[in-house]
Amino acid sequence: MLHVVCAVVEHQGEILCMQKGDHKYPYISHHWEFPGGKVEAGESEEQALVRELMEEMDYHVKVERHLLTTDYVYPDFEISLSAYLCHPLNEETPRRFAMKEHLQALWLPSEKLHTLNWAPADQQLIEMLVGDFQ
């Protein structure tokens, strides 16, 4: 079981959505996800989230609150995914970040999140967000 965290980054009523690139498991390649990654030994979930966004995107966020933890079983691995509501720390350029590991990024209002092809592990979170942000 992989322990994974993701950031639901909200800014001015829109949420940051990231598209995965090629993956060793083709069934999750090119799906959409929230940025984040694995929690390393000795890290809190919040510390892992801040580190992962810096490594993958050169992006500073403020972790606001825990939203949801869900488990998902893929054909080749299992994850426990904890999602956190976050906000950009840079007020001058809140939507500027590097694209080191993703194909593209979109900012969408919650009611449009369902229009993307999300990674299966994110489906429960999408359902919650569509309800909470409306």
Banded pLDDT at 23 (limits 50, 70, 90): confident
Q: Is the pLDDT of residue 71 over 90?
A: yes
Q: Residue type for 95, please?
A: R
pLDDT at residue 25 in the model: 87
Contact 7, 49 (CB under 8 A): yes
CA distances from 119 to 1, 89, 105 (A): 17, 27, 15
Q: Is the pLDDT of residue 134 over 80?
A: no
Q: Is the pLDDT of residue 7 over 60?
A: yes
Q: Average pLDDT, whole number, for the chain?
A: 94
Strands 36-38 and 14-20: unpaired
pLDDT at residue 50 in the model: 97
pTM over 0.75, yes/no:
yes
CA–CA distance, 66 with 73 (Å, rounded to integer)? 22
Using the structure block, give the residue that is written with the tokens 């949420």. Answer: 15
pLDDT in tens, 92-115: 999 999 999 999 999 999 999 999
pLDDT at residue 132 in the model: 65
Banded pLDDT at 70 (limits 50, 70, 90): very high
